[in-house]
A and B are shown apart, each in its own frame.
Chain A
C-alpha cells in the first residue's frame, strides 16, 4: 500500500507526483488519474444532460462546470438571459469561488505556511484560524446551497435560467449571513499577509516549515552564504483571464492577457492549444507554444482596479504585494483577496435582487442545430466548454479545457525555476519547496483529466 500511496503529493485535488532531475533542474508533474472520457460519454446524449454530467468532472468546482456548460449551450441556442438570472449566476459562481478558495487556502495550503501538517492540527493548535476556515467554508457552501440547491453538484441551474424560484426572504437571510461573516474574510486577508511566501525578497527558503527553534536560526542568518538561495527576480509568465473592462468579470467577458491578447471566447482554440504529453494523463495547454497562468493571481493581476471597495483598500495597504505579481506563491494571497471581493460582490448583487421586482428566472428558447463555446472563470481559472448539437438536440461533439490543463506547463516551468535557484539548499528542502509550489497553484488534477 505504501508503494502506491507514498509517491502522491498529498493535500491536492487528485493524484499527481513529481519526477525530478535535481542536477539538471528538470521537473515533470506526473498526472496519474484514470481517463474518465467525459467528452466522449456525453456524445449521443441530449444536451440537457451536459450541465448535470459535467459537474461530476470535479467535486471541488462542480458549479463552475455546470455554469460553463450552460453558458456554452446558451451560446449554441442564442439564448439571452435577463439581468436577474445573470445576477443569480454571478452570486452562485462567486459562492463556488469562495467555497473552493476557503477549502484550498485553509485546508491545503495554509498548513505549509503555518508549519503544521494538516487542518485537523490547525483545529487543535490554532483554533482561531480554524474558526475562520470553517466560517468561510460554510458561507461559501451556504451561498451555493441556497442558490444552487446543494453544496456539491448543484441542481437548480439549467439552460435558460433556473429550475427554482427564490423568495425575497431567502435572499435577504443569505445577505445577512454574508454580511455578519464578512469580518472572517478580512481577518483571513490579514493572516495571508503575515505568511512568508518563498521567493519574496528574492530569497528561497522555508521559513515557517521548521519547528520554532530552527525557524529562529533561519531568521538570524541573513547573509547570502547562509544556505538560503538568492535570485535576481521571479520568472515572469503571461497571465490570462476573462475580462470585460467594466467590472471584475467571471462570466461572459473576452479572453485577455497581460501580453495584450484580446480575443472572443469563440476563438478560444486559436489562443489556447492543447497537446498530449507523455508523462501525464492530462494534456498541457499553451499559448503560442509558451506556458501561461490562469486563476486567482491572473485575475487579480489583470483586474485589480475592479476589486470591490473593502478588498481594494486592503490590497492598497499591502506592502508585500506589488501588482502585477510574478511570484506564484502569491496565488494564495490572491485567493484571500478574492474571498473578500466575492463576499462583497454577493452581498451587493443580493441587495440588487432584494430591491428589484419579482424576477423571471426561466427564459424561453428553442434548441437548434449549431455549435458554440462558452467560458467562465472557475476558482482555478478560465474554463472552456464547447458543444456541437444536432437538430434533435443530441450532443454530437464536445470539448472541455479546464484551468489546470492551462496551468500544468507553467507549474513545471516555475518548479524548474525554483530548482535552478536553490542549488545550495539540501535536496529534501528543495523537494518541499516544490510540493509547496504545487499546492500554492491549487491544481485540480481530477479536473485536468476529464
Chain B
C-alpha cells in the first residue's frame, strides 16, 4: 500500500476537494494515525486541501467542505453543536475511530452514575462540561466509518481515497478471527481468554491477538455478530460477572438499542 500512486487529475479545471478534520472529546490518537500516514499523507495533500485541522494548523476557512473527518465522542454541548454545524457544511461525514463510530471508551461510563462520579472526582460545586457520551451517529447522519481504536492506517487511506474517487467504501464484513487465522496465531478464545474476535469486525489485521493480547472489540460488531452466544460462552469460561463489561467496552451504547 505504501507505494500507492493516485491518479493525479491533469485537467486545468481540477479544483482540490476540501477535507476538514475535526476532533471532539477523545485521546486524539486517530488524528495522530492520520499524521502517521507520513509520506502517504504527503501524497494525499497534493490532491486535496485541508482547511481545518486544529492539531496541525491554524484554521484557514470554515466551509463548505467536501469531506469532514470527525474524530471523538460528542460529549459536551459544544461538541454536539459543532457536529451539527459540520453536518450542515459537509457533503460527506466520516466518523473516524471507535469513539465517533461506537462511543468508544468515553461512553463506557455508566450514564446513570455520571453525576455521582463527577461529584466524587471534582467535588460538589463543580459544573461539568460533558453531558452524555454517545456515538456521532446518535446526533447527526454519518456517511462512512473508519473503524478501530486506533484506526488502521491502511483502512484510513483506503476509505479516504475511495471517497475522493467517488467510490463507496465497503467495510470488511468478516470477523477478526479470519485475519487472525490467516496469520496462524494460536486461538486465544480456546485458551480460555475472553477474546472478542468472533463478534468483531476485521480490518485491523488482528493486531492484538497477533501480539498475544486478546481482541477487545474496538472495530465494532461484525455483521451477524451473535452477542447472546458470546455472552453464554464467556459465562462458561468463568467471566459471569464481567460479560457485559467485556463485550461492551467500546460499544456500551449497544445496550440501548
Contact = CB atoms under 8 A, between A and B. Distances in A.
Q: Say if A and B assemble together.
A: yes
B161 interface: no
Given A34-B25, A36-B106, A36-B130, A155 B86 contact: no
Contacts of B249: 49, 53
Q: Among the interface residues A34, A35, A56, A162, which one has the most CB atoms of the partner chain B within 10 A? A: A34
Interface of A is mostly: loop
A10 B58 contact: yes
Contacts of A40: 109, 113, 117, 120-121
B123 A276 contact: yes
B78 to A, nearest CB: 6
Interface in B194-250: 207-208, 210-213, 216, 242, 245, 249
A40 B75 CA distance: 16
Contacts of A281: 128-129
Given A40-B121, A56-B29, A1 B86 contact: yes
B129 A32 contact: yes
Nearest to A57: B27
A158 interface: yes
A37 B212 contact: no
Contacts of A15: 23, 54
Interface string B35-61: 110110010010000101011111100
Given A10-B58, A44-B245, A153-B150, A58 B211 contact: no
A11 B105 contact: no
B62 A59 contact: no
Interface in A1-45: 1-2, 4-6, 8, 10-15, 32-41, 44-45
Contacts of A152: 29, 32-33, 36, 150
Contact of A36 (B25, B85, B123, B211): B25
Contact of A118 (B58, B108, B133): B58
B177 interface: no
Contacts of B113: 40
Interface residues of B, number: 68
Contacts of A10: 54-59
A37 B86 contact: no
B82 interface: yes
A40 B39 CA distance: 40
Interface stretch (A134-142, A187-195, A299-307): A134-142
Contact of A153 (B29, B45, B110, B122): B29
Contact of B82 (A1, A12, A138, A276): A1
Contacts of A151: 33, 36
Contacts of B52: 5
Contacts of B58: 10-11, 117-118
B190 to A, nearest CB: 17
Given A6-B59, A10-B54, A56 B27 contact: yes
B4 to A, nearest CB: 17
A150 B207 contact: yes
Contacts of A8: 54
B139 to A, nearest CB: 14
Contact of A4 (B42, B82, B213): B82
A59 B34 CA distance: 12
A155 B214 CA distance: 9
B28 interface: yes
Given A37-B114, A45-B242, A103-B35, A1 B85 contact: yes
A123 B129 contact: no
Contacts of A328: none
B48 to A, nearest CB: 11
Interface in B80-138: 81-82, 85-86, 89, 104-106, 108-110, 113-114, 117-118, 120-123, 126, 128-130, 133
Interface string B171-193: 00000000000000000000000
A134 B36 CA distance: 9
Contacts of A60: 27-29, 32
B149 interface: yes
B130 A163 contact: no
A6 B85 CA distance: 14
A205 interface: no
B79 interface: yes
A265 interface: no
B30 A59 contact: yes
Which of the four size classes fits the interface of chain A? 35 or more
A41 B123 CA distance: 17
B32 A103 contact: yes
A446 B26 contact: yes
A153 B30 CA distance: 10
A46 B23 CA distance: 30
A56 B122 contact: no
Contacts of A117: 57-58
A80 to B, nearest CB: 21
B253 interface: no
A1 B210 CA distance: 42
B149 A134 contact: no
Given A11-B57, A163-B212, A276-B122, A37 B109 contact: yes
A53 B105 contact: yes
A292 B29 CA distance: 28
Nearest to A52: B216
B89 A1 contact: yes
Given A41-B109, A60-B28, A276-B123, A34 B76 contact: yes
A118 B57 contact: yes
B211 A149 contact: yes
B63 interface: yes
A56 B105 contact: yes
A446 B28 contact: yes
A59 B207 contact: no
B89 A35 contact: no
A221 interface: no
Given A32-B78, A36-B130, 16 more contacts: A1-B62, A11-B55, A36-B109, A46-B242, A53-B108, A53-B249, A60-B29, A137-B36, A137-B38, A150-B207, A151-B36, A152-B36, A153-B149, A164-B211, A276-B122, A446-B26
9 contacts: A11-B54, A38-B105, A53-B105, A58-B28, A120-B56, A149-B207, A151-B33, A151-B36, A163-B211
